Amino acid sequence: MDRIADAALTLEHLEIHYAIEDNNGGTDPGPLPSNFTALNRLTWFEVAGSNWTTIPAMINNWPQLDTLYMYSIDTPDFDWGDLSNLVNLRKLTLNAINRIYPHVPAYLPALTNLKTFNMQGCFKTDTGRPGHIDLFIGELYTMVTVTVNPPKTGTSADAWRSVTYDVSEVNIPGYATTDVPAGIYQQPAGYVQGTSNGTPATSLEKFWVLDHQYSWKCNWKK
């Protein structure tokens, strides 16, 4: 696989659909060859069916990346790794990462250009983690409304406004059911458009605030 780096001067889109191990079969320090640091024109990276337990550190060497797409990874307690350098990332898709660590990573606020954030099928009902979809939504809501605090009367150009966020089910035969966020999709108590988010008490009320106050589009299993 290290021969891929020979195309570094022209390669912009790379997809790997193969069961790569964390240690790359023991032939390199990590799951991706060390010479992948040369892939400085890569804007799209996609991986399916790997056996990774974390997002590889190598990916954080590609600040030019626009799209990161990872799916169908079934390993215990998959970790978010570090993507803090991906300041140009616009689309992050982590689909069917069956046991993803259910907390918002500390670096997420730094991805200020992110506009599409997919986590379809990441909160299955058979993982022994009841309520973890609500835990993650709660932390994501706090990150947006407190840590980042985008303007309530801003535009789509503002960081963490106009984001499409998806925690719906994936269409994979035999795949376990995805958890449903708690609550009713409705305006929370005390909400004032452009002024106050009120006091949303459930995940779906938090989605309502993100959609209406910050122009998000939140999708979930109904």
Query: How many CB atoms within 10 Å of residue 77?
Result: 11
Compute the chain's Rg from CA coordinates.
18
Domains and CATH numbers, the chain: 2-220 (3.80.10)
pLDDT at 13: 97
- The more confidently predicted of residues 125 and 180 is 180
Where helices occur in 59-202 by DSSP H, the ranges are 132-142
Of 42, 43, 47, whose CA–CA distance to 31 is shortest?
47
What are the C-alpha distances in Å from 166 to residues 154, 196, 216?
Answer: 22, 24, 10
Please report which residue ranges of the chain form alpha helices under DSSP H.
132-142, 203-214
- Position 98 pLDDT exceeds 90: no
Residue 173's pLDDT band (boundaries 50, 70, 90)?
low
Output the pTM of the full model.
Answer: 0.92
The predicted-structure confidence for 65-92, as pLDDT tens digits, reads as follows: 999 999 887 777 788 999 999 999 999 9
Measure the CA–CA gap between 187 and 149, rounded to whole angstroms.
19
- Report angle CA 127, 132, 135 to the nearest 5 degrees: 170
Q: Would you place residue 29 in the very low, low, confident or very high pLDDT band (cuts 50, 70, 90)? A: low
Q: How far is the C-alpha of 183 from the C-alpha of 144, rounded, in Å?
A: 20
User: Residues 123, 165: contact at Cβ < 8 Å?
Assistant: no
d(Cα 208, Cα 201) in Å, to the nearest integer? 11
